[in-house]
Structure 1
Amino acid sequence: MYRDGAAEHDTEEPGLLAVLELLARQAPPGEFDELLHRVRGSGTTPARLARLERGVRLARAIAASAGRREQREAGLAALVDTARDLTFPYDVDGLLRIITRRARGLIDFDLAYVCLRAPGGVSYIRTAEGSTTALLAGLRLPDDRGIGGVAHAAGAPAWSADYLADDRFRHDDAIDDVVRAEGLRAVMAVPLRNGDTTIGALYGSDRHVRHYTPDEIGLMSSLADLAAVAIVKAGLLDQTRAEVTELELDSSRTRSSLTRMRYVSEAHSRIMNLVLSGGDLCNVAKAAGDALDGTVLIRDPGGRALVSGGELDDLDEEAVAKASLDAHAGRRPVVTGENTWVAPVIAGSEDLGVLVIRTATGLTEEDERLLELSAQSVAFLLLMRRSTAVAEGPVRDELLDDLLSETPHAPQQIMQRARRLGIDLSAPHVLVVARPEGGEQGRAVVWASSYAYRMSGLKTVHGGCVVLLLPGADASAAARAVSDELTPLLGHPVSVGAAGPGRDADGVARMYQEAMRCLDALTALNGAGSAASVQDLGFLGLLLSDDHDVDGFIESAIGPVLAYDAERFTDLTRTLEAYFASGGSPTNAAEELHVHPNTVSRRLDRIGELLGADWHKPGRVLEVQLALRLQRTRDVLVQQRTAPAERGGRDGTTV
């Protein structure tokens, strides 16, 4: 019996050893099948064949278990590598690409993608790996549809071996269309959870029917857990980076702002030092323009330019006027047009004018502040001027009062007093009398003090009128300038009379009397609120003037005609006399002159060219006739003075 058992053992040993050898070298399943085939063909007994087949089954089970263990170990190793990769500081998009790539490698998916949840119960695909179309990126996935909806609801992995044919969940047409376009069959979805919060889902798909094993589902879940933590941290890192970047920008802006504010402070200090050291408006305007890289124009309340730091071409006056009103109303600079700003020059509630600037580029917030400070500096300078004028006012008023008085005074002493005040009475000067028609004298007096100081003149008040002694030779221009500036300031009409020029101290009182008579003439002629000089009143000026400048009047009325006759030996003067004597009839004038009427017409045309087209209008006709009479009278008087002298010479006597 022992021998039989030994023999039996010997017979079975080679087959069992062969199974062990195949198992030891991890032979493929086909070699096990070949072993069974050889043993069946050797005529072995059924019992032995059954034991060998059972050994092969056990060997295959051991091999499968070892394979699963190796696959699990490989998956865990890959998962560890993935966890290590996820610790690097990726941004969110870069991290999602790593996750999808690892998912494809771990489970051998054809396609892997990640969707992240957004407010409103929807998710959007952020990253896809292995797609064949561009339809996945940005695809909207409702949280209650598809495999993802099941995973979100259960908080656990969900999968389908054949997605389109699976009716266990609600389908979405848009999702199904993309699945068809990509050719997908099997789909797995694993929620990305961070604590109790689901932030999205990790998907894996295959383009064939596939039943996912528990190990694959578990491995995918582990990857999803790691990915969720990494995504949250990456999001925080991105947020931190954005905040750091914003802080760096804020820091840069703060540094730039501090630099600009330091520049504004230094520029304002330079302008104020210029003001305090006695600089004039022109220098202040130039300094402000240099600081703001622009051209500055300073205007008074009436809109007239006081000083300009350069040329401002094509300035829209209407827009500037509107901006001036807005600037004073808001007490801040206002932009008008392209890179043109208007800043109010104010002192309390008093309007002192505006500062207009045109820059090469727009103004920053700091530049606007510097513009406001520059306008304040201009206001301060104007107030200083006014204060200086007011402080010197009594002395200057006393000098002009003395000049206007008819009491004799020492000329040398008067000239010395004037020189100490910066007044040169030997230079041409005019006298202007301004009478406010609204009765508001206070503001007019304050303005006159500043104006006289600015114009290097003198000011006083006589009989409710402001009296100004100003340098210059054009009394008419001086009267208009005073009216143009004072009338808008007071808001009611101002009558202005002027006389001059004069060149000595003794003539000031005479000019004052002429200016007052001119002012009275304006009132009598219903011209209150207008401005004129003695010269502007024509023959009335001749009557009002103390020196009765007959020669000047004749020259202004018919001087060109007299000069023409003298140069060309013509009879235009006689023609004018005959024309007026005949009642303005060229025919009757021709009979008196014994010439043809056409000759008279031609002479009258020539007179029109010399005197102007309006010479025959009533106002001019009166002046021309008066000038002809004065000229005729002067000629007669000259002849009367020369006749006795000529007779005395013939008689041998002397005159």
Structure 2
Amino acid sequence: MRTVLDLLRLLADRADGHGSAAELERAAAELADSDPEAGALALRIRTAMDAGRRRESELAALVEIARDLASESDTGSVLDTIVRRARALLGTDIAYLTLYDAERGDTYMRVTAGSVSYRFQTLRLPLGAGLGGLVAASRAPHWTGRYAGDGRYRHTDEIDTAVGEEGIVAICGTPLLVDDEFVGVLFAANRSARPFTPDDVALLGSLAALAAVSLVQTRRLTDTAETLQALRGAHAAIGEAADAHDRFAGVVLAGGDVGDIAEALGRLLGGWVTVLDADGTPVARYGPVPERLDAAAALRRAGEAAGAGRPVAVPCAGGARVVAVIAGGQRLGTLLLGGLGEHGDGPANGGSGAPAEPAELSAELSAEPAELSAGQVRTVERAAMVTALVLLFTQRAAESDRRDRADALAELLAATGPPRPATLGRIGALGVSARRRHVLLVCRCAPGRVRAVSREAATLGGRPGLVAERDGAVVVLLPGDDPAAAGARLARPASGPDPDDGVTVGAAGPFRPADGADRALAEARRSVEALLALDRAGEAAAAADLGFAGLLLGERPDVAGYVTSILGPVAEHDERRGSDLLRTLEAYYAAGASPTRAAAALHVHVNTVAQRLDRVGSLLGPSWQEPDRSLEVQLALRLHRLGASGRT
């Protein structure tokens, strides 16, 4: 017969972990026959001891889980660890975790352990729907031994279908909370009707609390790491841009121009670069600039980018990036770049600093522009700023030189007769040789085109040329002997789309500036006004090219030259063949252009006159009898006779 002492001995052994639970239960049952109270007390002590041992085991498991979570730095790894340990610790068929989506206002399945249904693994739970939705909405744990028939939950077809496909019967869910911040829901579930005890719910809640803290800390560590990485990237980008700035500054200090900056930028980015001036004209290039690029679209995009007030590399239709070159709020030019990283530290296909031809910038490319790193963005910004400074200095130097040349030419033109030595010294300092032969051009155009024509004229003579705006016209002094040929380089008729595009040029010379330019200016002015009066706008001519009008306008009319230009072929024929074509022409016009009366005056047959006139036509051209040309011929005949009379 068991005694109370035997029972105490078995309890002591059980407490030390050596005793048998079955033997303890038999001893308590035997003792209950003689002492029911002692037997019941023994069973209570055993139950409490088992519960304590289980809590110790659970606590040890939680400590181990916390240690595992502390070693994880990735959010995904933390979640996997939580769900696997929850399934193992509670001994359930399935464990899973949903996370809260603040933007959509629901929770979504993030990780599962033991699940086999894809529908279940991709399930989203609206707040308040199903057991998980109720946990999320109430921020309190809920559990059920048979979910399908539990009326406490708002069932939906989507949730019930996924739960049924997974075969889940019993579910327990508890919220993940950190300082009232709702993170998600941790679940444990079985495919059989096994009820969850309060101890199970408490254990799952402990796991959920541990998981929530670990998850939030991991997220914060990730955010901190990303912030540090961004700071390191920004620091590297700043260093890269500083190195680029030093390189660009070195180029400028060494006397480099925009072409050298384009080359430096192209080498740094490993791509091609084109620099356009304010008018969209290519002024420099580096690398294999595409032959088909939409320059008009680039300029439009540059105009949009200029609104930012600082250099911004924006994508441009045509596979390039466009950067507005800005200084003092003024757009001085445009950088076009592309092919980044394709050509290394050097030009592909033979990079060149030569300006791109406008035809190379005519059509679109289909390629998309490459993305720029933070360092590349800063490098491009530095290049645009340095380019703006170079262009600004160049523009101001060119403007100063233009003013000096305009003032010098105005001083030369204002002199009556030979200019003062100071004037000659001033134009000599600008590269004009006062003893060399020059021509003078007076260009008439629409008022809005004066500046453009001035810029174009300044490129004709290079350093020895002078350009000034005077009385609404552009006056140009160029070295040379052929005034008409020089004027033809600037003259052009008005085009259909732009009626103000025409330029009419009167020319004079050659002359020597040391002798004065006032007479040449007056003659060039008379020539351009004569062209406009004769409806010959868009042409260039000197007085000698205007026929009889030139005789009236020229400062020193060349009568002999005029006669030769009109009648030279006929006079030469008479001298060579002994013919009488000039006399026949005089008789023809004296007879009122009547071959019959001319034949009578010459005492020859009318057919002879006709034959002679045919020969004149072959020498002067088929239009010699047209009104304007006929007037020129008659005037030349009169001057020829006057000249002949003077010689006799």
TM above 0.5: yes
Q: Aligned partner of 1:195: which letter?
A: D
Of 370, 382, 399 in structure 2, the residue corresponding to residue 366 of structure 1 is: 382
Give the structure 1 partner of residue 213 of structure 2.
229
Report the CA distance between 1:141 and its aligned residue: 1.6
Report the alpha carbon displacement of residue 250 of structure 1 after superposing the two structures with TM: 2.6
CA contact (8 A) 1:151 1:189 kept: yes
Q: Secondary structure at the match of 1:135?
A: helix
Larger radius of gyration: 1
Instruction: Please name the residue that 1:533 is paired with.
Output: 542
For 2:438, which of 429, 436, 443 is the aligned residue? 429
Counterpart residue number, 2:418: 403
Q: Deviations over 1:505-555 (max 9, x none)?
A: 559676456446536645875889986421331232245445544564456
Instruction: Give the conservation status (yes or no) of the 8 Å contact 2:171–2:189.
Output: yes
Match of 2:146 among 158, 162, 181: 162
Q: How many residues align?
A: 574
Whether 2:471 is the aligned partner of 1:456: answer no
For 1:470, the aligned partner's letter is L
CA distance in 1, matches of 2:274, 2:574: 54
State, as a whole percentage, how many aligned pairs show the same letter: 31
Q: Which has the higher helix share?
A: 1
The residue that corresponds to 2:480 in the other structure is 472
Normalising by structure 1, what TM-score? 0.65
Q: Secondary structure at the match of 1:246?
A: helix
After TM superposition, the structure 1 = structure 2 runs for residues 554-565 of structure 1, keeping only pairs within 5 Å, are 556-557=565-566
CA distance in 2, matches of 1:593, 1:87: 125
Q: Quick one: which of 131, 134, 145 aligns to 1:147?
A: 131
Task: Report whether the alignment pairs 1:208 with 2:192.
Answer: yes
- Corresponding residue SS for 1:212: coil
Structure 1 stretch displaced more, 240-249 or 224-233: 240-249
Counterpart residue number, 2:115: 131
CA distance in 1, matches of 2:398, 2:460: 13
Paired AA for residue 117 in structure 1: Y
Aligned partners of 1:164 and 1:176 also within 8 Å: yes
* Residues 122-153 of structure 1 deviation map (CA, whole Å, 9 limit, x = unaligned): 22222111110222345222332332345456
Instruction: Determine the structure 1 residue equivalent to 2:355.
Output: none
* Residue in structure 1 matched with residue 631 of structure 2 by the alignment: 622
**CA deviation map 1:448-483 (0-9, x unaligned):** 998999652568999999876431223235456678
Within 5 A, what are the aligned runs for 1:516-555? 517-518=526-527, 521=530, 532-545=541-554, 548-550=557-559, 552-553=561-562
Compute the displacement of 1:206 (Å).
0.9
Shift of 1:186: 1.0
Hey, what's the Cα distance between the residues in 2 that align with 1:570 and 1:180? 126
User: Is the CA contact (8 Å cut-off) linking 2:406 and 2:468 kept in structure 1?
Assistant: no
Task: Give the AA of the match of 2:192.
Answer: H
Q: Which whole-Å CA distance do the structure 2 matches of 1:225 and 1:27 have between them?
A: 36
SS in 1 for 2:108: strand
Q: 1:232 to 1:566 in 2, by over 3 A?
A: farther
Aligned-partner Cα distance in 2 for 1:95–1:480: 83
Distance 1:295 1:497 in 2: 38
Q: Could you tell me how far 1:178 is from its partner in structure 2?
A: 0.9
1:379 aligns with 2:395: yes
User: Which residue number in structure 2 is paired with residue 75 of structure 1?
Assistant: 58
Q: Give the Å deviation of 1:261.
A: 3.8
Alpha-carbon separation, structure 1, partners of 2:542 and 2:74: 86
- What is the letter of the counterpart of residue 95 of structure 1? V
Distance 1:561-1:367 versus aligned 2 partners, 3 A rule: farther
DSSP-derived class of the 2:118 partner:
coil
Give CA-to-partner distance per residue, 1:75-101, whole Å, 9 cap, x none. 332222111112224222221111001
Unaligned runs of 5+ in 1: 1-8, 37-46, 275-283, 485-490, 642-655
The question of whether the paired residues in 1 share the 8 Å contact of 2:324 and 2:384 is answered with no
**CA offsets per residue over residues 142-186 of structure 1, 9 Å max, x none?**
332332345456654321111112223322332211100101111
SS in 1 for 2:77: helix
Task: From the superposition, tell whether residues 217 and 482 of structure 1 become closer, same or farther in structure 2 (CA, over 3 Å).
Answer: closer
Q: Which residue of 1 aligns with 2:74?
A: 91
Report 1:189-338 matches (<5 A): 189-270=173-254, 284=257, 286-287=259-260, 289-290=262-263, 293=266, 294-296=273-275, 338=318
Change (3 A) 1:416 1:561: farther
Q: Which shifted more, 511-520 or 557-566?
A: 557-566
Aligned-residue RMSD, C-alpha:
6.2
Equivalent position amino acid for 1:428 in 2: R
Q: Does the CA contact (< 8 Å) of 2:595 and 2:610 recur in 1?
A: no
User: Structure 2 regions of 5+ residues with no counterpart?
Assistant: 267-272, 340-368, 370-376, 493-499
Partner of 2:91: 108
Give SS of 2:202's match: helix
* Among 483, 507, 510, the residue aligned to 1:498: 507
2:366 aligned partner: none
